[in-house]
Structure 1
Amino acid sequence: MTATFAPNLAVWLTGLWTDGLSDWRWIYWQVIPLCAVAAFFVGWGLPKEEVKYARFAEGNWLGMFCGVISLLLLTIALDQGVRLDWFNSPLIVVSLIGGVILFGCYALTEWHHDAPFIKPQLMARKNLLIGTILLTFLLVVLMSGSMLPSNYLAGLQDYRVMQIAPIGLLIALPQLVLGSVVALLLYQKWVDSRVMLAIGLGIIALACFSGAQLTPQWNRDQFLVAQLLQAIGQPMAVVSILFLMTSVLHPSEGSYFSGAINTFRVFGSLIGGAIVGQLLTVRSRFHSDMLLDHAGIVDGAIPQALDASTLGTTVAQQSMVLSVIDAYLVLGVLALILIPLALMMTYVPAPDLTKS
């Protein structure tokens, strides 16, 4: 739900605050009532136990300090890298170097600490190592279902956020049902979760190739097929990955896995946004240069050449369309590349629910 439902629902929530209430700052305030509801259910649902104050002294607080600062620096670098032109910005360089060094310190202290917050040793298990790599790159691929159509519709068709929201909801709302359906299928003896994962990746790739048919005439309705394919493929891929990863864990290791997988989930989304943003920037610049060169070559052969203003607008529109198409193709190919990696994971049979 956090990997597929929340990012696509976020577009609708953003539109609700910016277009509905006309105050974008509500985007930052909305967390307060949601967290209050979550806190209530946590307090009501968890077992009532006394706070064990002695355990606070056992925590890896030095490592946690390094980890928090490193994640902050890496987030700044990944989030602002495209805007500040990466290594041409001292802020990005310092953030990346400092973030990597501090994260290494965090991982080292966690490895040797008696009571770590996460256990790096878990990555020695095949399904956890491959699953982590798969999930990180899959979150990059999933940018094709949210970031690409949003950028195109806002940039070329002048859609407002609330007008783009149905694009995200086409993926988000089906997850409420399809996620459970996929989970039920994975509990059937005849279903191989690796094959389910591979099929999901194939459907996501098909969605990307469908989006790559983009033209300047497309509006929101033309994304329907690609988004519906995303809505089917995403739960098949994500739920299957989590099934294959959690099945090799002991219940007592669940807390370590939860912290690790959520860290990678957040970074996967940030890396995805950075990669796709940089890809769009580079390819848009490339296509713009090529189109302008071509226009200069054929200018003399056209009786009624476009004026400079019209030519600039046309080139900008065409370069945006072509860059989005390139991004769709790259992410589609990446989804296909992940399929052999998915099939390399260790087979996990469905649990026998008849046994007590």
Structure 2
Amino acid sequence: MSAAQPLAPLEGSARVWGTIALSAATFMNVLDTSIANVSLPSIAGDLGVSPNQGTWVITSFAVANAIAVPLTGWLSQRFGQVRLFVASVLLFVIASWLCGLAPSMPLLIAFRVLQGFVAGPMIPLSQALLLSSYPRALAGLAMAMWSMTTLVAPVMGPLLGGWITDHISWSWIFYINIPVGIAAAFASWAIYRKRETARRALPIDKVGLALLVVWVACMQMMLDLGKEYDWFASPMIVALAVVAVVGFVFFLAWELTDDHPVVDLRLFARRNFWAGTLAVSVGYGLFFGNVVLLPLWLQQFMGYTATDAGMIMAPVGLLALLLSPVVGKTIGKVDPRRYASIAFVVFALVLWMRSHFNTQADFGTIMVPTIIQGVAMAFFFIPLITITLSGLTPDRIPAASGLTNFVRITAGAIGTSVSTTLWESRASLHHAHLAETVGPGSSAAQAALSGLVSSGLTPDQALAQVNRLVDQQAFMLAANDIFWGSALLFLLMVPLVWLTHAQRAGAGGGDAAAGAH
């Protein structure tokens, strides 16, 4: 992805404005992965679907994004990094506008797929252009500043999304991209157009790309539709599963034998690459699944508004912003496996704390684990990406970064589907157990019912009220199960990190930073 001739770094105000333009585009892109999370109940309600069907708004963007990321290397060589970046930003603006106008859920999902696909090249290219703007000695500083935007955006997303949904309309969570995107595209073109990279016509691996789209799309549809169609009792779900598995097998066979594969799977022969990619992807999938689950629970069963749910999620960035520069500066001197282990242990602690929530939990109690989670986020990305990309030659870094990002984004989409599905199935189980204790033989239940009837409710209304309380408890217990299970999985990943080879001090630091996030 590098140009034939290394470009001289930018100077003065051009470098400052270039950094701001690239960071603004990245911020807008990353913001859109989380801004819809707290708005799902409103979007689903407006468009007449269930909140769980609404999760397609998140997963459709993530899957389309995952498919587009590995194509960045080929596209940038074909069209040039600057042209591709500016086109990607402008197409993202158009897709955002269409998302805001969408009158139905199928159309919104279609426009989110378009938005996710055109967003694919933006993050890898913003890294590449930013690194070309700075002298090599300042590469670490450039990536630390870039990382700040990718840490602040997921935090701002729920807060901004919640406020906009409560005070204006959910459409505006997409419309706000329009002025930011136009300004970022204009500034990027003005500053970088004379720094265009060399272009060359490369053959595209059409078969590999087609197989990639087929198996990823079928897998995601299976995960999202499974809970509505009773999983493998449905012929459609079975068919999707079969196509996903067969497509994946053919994809592996084709990519390992093609001369110009769309995804370089040979990277998985390296222990640090496969173990690092697995750790970052499973960790991200668990994290993202829980990030979607918490606002859903707060809004559906705890009476929180979208703004309040966003405020619960927001403080995750405080400690992450404070500690990330420290991690970036010391990663060359400290074994990154130690930092990654700290991240997993803190994630486990946070989820263990959440597994003790009850329906009486107040705002502060729910907020504390979110603040602590910032520590885990600071120690998560940079060390794991450093491990994953260590020992690779610079020409393989873009392909490796694209492949790791692809696996991570796909894992995030899987995490969302699996956590919402498990939440519903565990809630049904808990509801059945709780309902047994509210039978005619329960004196407490009968006393509660007679109390409700004496306060003016009909027997049916009193029963509905008790059922609502049982529902609230069942979904609370189900969320606790998922938090507890996720905590255990994070602890089990600590040994995985120690399977990787130790690094010499400073190995892969500058190049590894370029692959972060």
Matched, 1:136 2:281: yes
Are 1:143 and 1:276, in contact at CA under 8 Å, matched by a contact in 2? Answer: no
User: Aligned-residue CA RMSD in angstroms?
Assistant: 2.7
CA distance in structure 1 between the partners assigned to 2:421 and 2:289 by the alignment: 14
Matched, 1:186 2:186: no
Matched, 1:213 2:356: yes
Deviations 1:152-193 (A, max 9, x none): 2112222121221122211135434432222222122xx211
Residue 21 of structure 1 corresponds to which residue in structure 2?
A: 168
Q: Determine helix, strand or coil for the equivalent of 2:314.
A: helix
Name which of 60, 68, 76 aligns with 2:213. 68
TM-score under structure 1 length normalisation: 0.87
Q: Determine helix, strand or coil for the equivalent of 2:226.
A: helix
CA distance in structure 1 between the partners assigned to 2:236 and 2:254 by the alignment: 27
Question: Following TM superposition, by how much is the alpha carbon of 1:330 offset from its aligned partner in structure 2, in angstroms?
Answer: 0.5
Are 1:128 and 1:245, in contact at CA under 8 Å, matched by a contact in 2? Answer: yes
Matched, 1:202 2:339: no
Question: Following TM superposition, by how much is the alpha carbon of 1:280 offset from its aligned partner in structure 2, in angstroms?
Answer: 1.0
Question: Following TM superposition, by how much is the alpha carbon of 1:278 offset from its aligned partner in structure 2, in angstroms?
Answer: 1.9
Query: Measured at CA, do residues 77 and 352 of structure 1 come closer, stay the same or move farther in structure 2, by a change above 3 Å?
Result: closer
Matched, 1:164 2:309: yes
CA distance in structure 2 between the partners assigned to 1:246 and 1:38 by the alignment: 29
1:34-183 to structure 2, matched below 5 A, reads: 34-36=180-182, 39-40=185-186, 43=189, 44-45=191-192, 47-52=195-200, 54-55=201-202, 58-143=203-288, 146-183=291-328
Question: Following TM superposition, by how much is the alpha carbon of 1:295 offset from its aligned partner in structure 2, in angstroms?
Answer: 2.0
CA distance in structure 1 between the partners assigned to 2:150 and 2:417 by the alignment: 17
TM-score under structure 2 length normalisation: 0.62
Question: Following TM superposition, by how much is the alpha carbon of 1:91 offset from its aligned partner in structure 2, in angstroms?
Answer: 4.0
CA distance in structure 1 between the partners assigned to 2:199 and 2:507 by the alignment: 37
Question: Following TM superposition, by how much is the alpha carbon of 1:50 offset from its aligned partner in structure 2, in angstroms?
Answer: 4.5
Q: Determine helix, strand or coil for the equivalent of 1:116.
A: coil
Q: 1 or 2 for the larger relative contact order (CA 8 Å, sep ≥6)?
A: 1
Query: Measured at CA, do residues 136 and 50 of structure 1 come closer, stay the same or move farther in structure 2, by a change above 3 Å?
Result: closer
Residue 325 of structure 1 corresponds to which residue in structure 2?
A: 480
Matched, 1:275 2:418: yes
Are 1:79 and 1:270, in contact at CA under 8 Å, matched by a contact in 2? Answer: no
Query: Measured at CA, do residues 183 and 50 of structure 1 come closer, stay the same or move farther in structure 2, by a change above 3 Å?
Result: closer
Tell me the amino acid that sits aligned with residue 485 of structure 2: V
Query: Measured at CA, do residues 310 and 66 of structure 1 come closer, stay the same or move farther in structure 2, by a change above 3 Å?
Result: same
Query: Measured at CA, do residues 261 and 4 of structure 1 come closer, stay the same or move farther in structure 2, by a change above 3 Å?
Result: farther
CA distance in structure 2 between the partners assigned to 1:268 and 1:200 by the alignment: 18
Tell me the amino acid that sits aligned with residue 487 of structure 2: G
Matched, 1:339 2:491: no
Matched, 1:351 2:509: no
Are 2:218 and 2:244, in contact at CA under 8 Å, matched by a contact in 1? Answer: yes
CA distance in structure 2 between the partners assigned to 1:40 and 1:92 by the alignment: 45
Which stretch shifts more, 174-183 or 327-336?
A: 174-183
CA distance in structure 2 between the partners assigned to 1:148 and 1:31 by the alignment: 25
Tell me the amino acid that sits aligned with residue 323 of structure 1: A
Question: Following TM superposition, by how much is the alpha carbon of 1:130 offset from its aligned partner in structure 2, in angstroms?
Answer: 0.9
| Structure 1 unmatched ranges of 5 or more | none
Tell me the amino acid that sits aligned with residue 434 of structure 2: L
CA distance in structure 2 between the partners assigned to 1:21 and 1:302 by the alignment: 42
Tell me the amino acid that sits aligned with residue 294 of structure 2: P
Deviations 1:4-32 (A, max 9, x none): 6554443224224322322x233444555
Matched, 1:256 2:399: yes
Are 2:208 and 2:262, in contact at CA under 8 Å, matched by a contact in 1? Answer: no
Are 2:318 and 2:371, in contact at CA under 8 Å, matched by a contact in 1? Answer: no
Question: Following TM superposition, by how much is the alpha carbon of 1:209 offset from its aligned partner in structure 2, in angstroms?
Answer: 1.1
Identity of counterpart residues, as a percentage?
Answer: 24
| Structure 2 unmatched ranges of 5 or more | 1-146, 450-461, 509-517
CA distance in structure 2 between the partners assigned to 1:3 and 1:76 by the alignment: 28
- Matched residue pairs, number? 347
CA distance in structure 2 between the partners assigned to 1:245 and 1:63 by the alignment: 24
Question: Following TM superposition, by how much is the alpha carbon of 1:144 offset from its aligned partner in structure 2, in angstroms?
Answer: 6.5
Q: Determine helix, strand or coil for the equivalent of 2:447.
A: coil
CA distance in structure 2 between the partners assigned to 1:79 and 1:339 by the alignment: 30
Question: Following TM superposition, by how much is the alpha carbon of 1:149 offset from its aligned partner in structure 2, in angstroms?
Answer: 2.5
